[in-house]
Copies of this chain bind each other. A is one copy, B any other.
Amino acid sequence: MTFILDAVDFKKGQGLVPVVVQDAEDGVVLMLAYSNREALKLTLATGKAWYWSRSRNALWLKGEESGHVQLVQEIRLDCDGDTLLYVVRQTGDGACHEGYRSCFFRRLTAEGEQVIEERIFDPAHVYKK
């Protein structure tokens, strides 16, 4: 499997590539996260989305705490080889740690920002401190 990982250019981002995460059902963009070689290897091996947490400096199985794991149906690589797209089945209520389905729940306009999604779960219940 190692040769597959070589198709990805991890150098440009000092070992990390951004991963766009899209819902397989309706194409909604759920989030953007980062992956390194090890996280991609785990994702390919397990079919679940693993990322690299820049804030915790650690490998991160999405949903390890919330239970909202992402089952990866397709991994796509862009033309420059420095960005991944995961097409996923999002289990549980949503992808965003703030309780929304998508992390992109705010719209920016020249007039200001505006929340345009409904909160669908209570983060305090899902993420135990």
Q: How far is the CA of A12 from the CA of B13 in the complex (A)?
A: 13
Interface magnitude class on chain A:
35 or more
Asked whether any CB of chain B lies closer than 8 Å to the CB of A31, the reply is yes
Interface centre among A105, A108, A112 (most CB of B within 10 A): A108
Asked whether any CB of chain B lies closer than 8 Å to the CB of A110, the reply is yes
Given A20-B29, A29-B22, answer yes or no on A4-B79 (Cβ-Cβ < 8 Å).
Answer: no
Number of identical monomers bound together in the oligomeric complex = 2
CB distance from A56 to the nearest CB of B (A): 13
Question: What B residues does A77 contact at CB under 8 A?
Answer: 104, 106-108, 113
Whether A78 pairs with B107 at a CB distance below 8 angstroms is no
Question: What B residues does A44 contact at CB under 8 A?
Answer: 108-110
Interface 0/1 of A72-94, CB less than 8 Å to B: 00111111100111000000000
CB distance from A37 to the nearest CB of B (A): 13
Whether B29 pairs with A74 at a CB distance below 8 angstroms is no
CB distance from A62 to the nearest CB of B (A): 14
CB distance from A53 to the nearest CB of B (A): 12
13 residue pairs of the A-B complex, CB under 8 angstroms, read: A1-B110, A4-B113, A22-B27, A27-B27, A27-B28, A31-B78, A32-B83, A44-B109, A45-B110, A75-B107, A76-B106, A78-B106, A83-B104
